[in-house]
């Protein structure tokens, strides 16, 4: 049990700069970059029960990008602490803003909380959604909506639009 708890909370021992490992690159790219559907697992700091789900992260670079694999590592670093989903969402967004100074950062997290399904209200299919919108994502509704549209679940897009996200992206790119 001790070994398991050490693993589940090893984010406290992690250092942001070590996680990013100097994987910052100067690039002439100023369009939205998204890493979506990042699986994460964390422990509720109030009940010590797991919450888990998907994290979607976007940013618009301003001369510097971070290695793509560093974004899920950053999510894991903060998730592997006793957490509340709201703080977790903000920590990811604020860290990216601080380290790469983009035009904006957006983070959306969707999670099932065992503290809501196993105890308390005992709601089995509820999902908590949190978001942090910084910079251009906060101030520009079109940029925010583009991000939110791009992270939609393909099955939801199939039901509502009759096509996939990939198909939509290809049509709009022409």
Chain Cα centroid distance, residue 170: 24
Kindly report the CATH number assigned to the domain that includes residue 99. 3.30.1130.10
DSSP 124-152: TT--EEEEEEEEHHHH-HHHHHHHHHHTS
Q: Which of 55, 56, 83, 85 is catalytic?
A: 85
pLDDT string in tens for the chain (174-residue length): 899 999 999 999 999 999 999 999 999 999 999 999 999 999 999 999 999 999 999 999 999 999 999 999 999 999 999 999 999 999 999 999 999 999 999 999 999 999 888 887 888 889 999 999 999 999 999 999 999 999 996 654 444 444 333 333 333 333
Token representation of residue 83: 């957490």
Q: Which of 44, 55, 83, 91 is catalytic?
A: 44
Q: In DSSP terms, which residues pair with 112 in a beta bridge?
A: 52
Query: Per the structure, how many domains does the chain have?
Result: 1
Mark whether 47 is an active-site residue.
Answer: yes
SS3 of 39-80: the string is EEEEEECCCCCEEEEEEEEEEECCCEEECCCHHHHHHHHHHC
Q: In DSSP terms, which residues pair with 24 in a beta bridge?
A: 66
Q: Which of 110, 115, 122, 124 is catalytic?
A: 115
Instruction: Name the residue range of residue 93's domain.
Output: 2-173
Q: Which of 56, 83, 110, 113 is catalytic?
A: 113
Predicted model pTM: 0.86
Token representation of residue 122: 């005992």
CA dist list (Å): 138 to 35, 107, 127, 142: 18, 11, 23, 10
Mark whether 113 is an active-site residue.
Answer: yes
């Amino acid at each position: 049990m001790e070994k398991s708890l050490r693993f589940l909370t090893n984010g406290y021992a992690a250092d942001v700069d070590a996680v990013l490992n100097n994987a910052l690159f100067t690039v002439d790219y100023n369009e939205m970059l998204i890493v979506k559907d990042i699986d994460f697992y964390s422990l509720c700091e109030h009940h010590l029960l797991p919450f888990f789900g998907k994290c979607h992260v976007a940013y618009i670079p301003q001369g510097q990008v971070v290695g793509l694999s560093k974004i899920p590592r950053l999510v894991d670093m903060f998730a592997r602490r006793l957490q509340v989903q709201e703080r977790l969402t903000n920590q990811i967004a604020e860290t990216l803003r601080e380290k790469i100074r983009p035009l904006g950062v957006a983070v959306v997290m969707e999670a099932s909380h065992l503290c809501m399904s196993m105890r308390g209200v005992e709601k089995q299919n509820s999902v908590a959604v949190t978001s942090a919108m910084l910079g251009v994502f906060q101030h520009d509704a079109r940029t925010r909506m583009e991000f939110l549209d791009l992270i939609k679940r393909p099955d939801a897009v199939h039901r509502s639009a009759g096509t996939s996200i990939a198909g939509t992206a290809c049509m709009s790119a022409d």
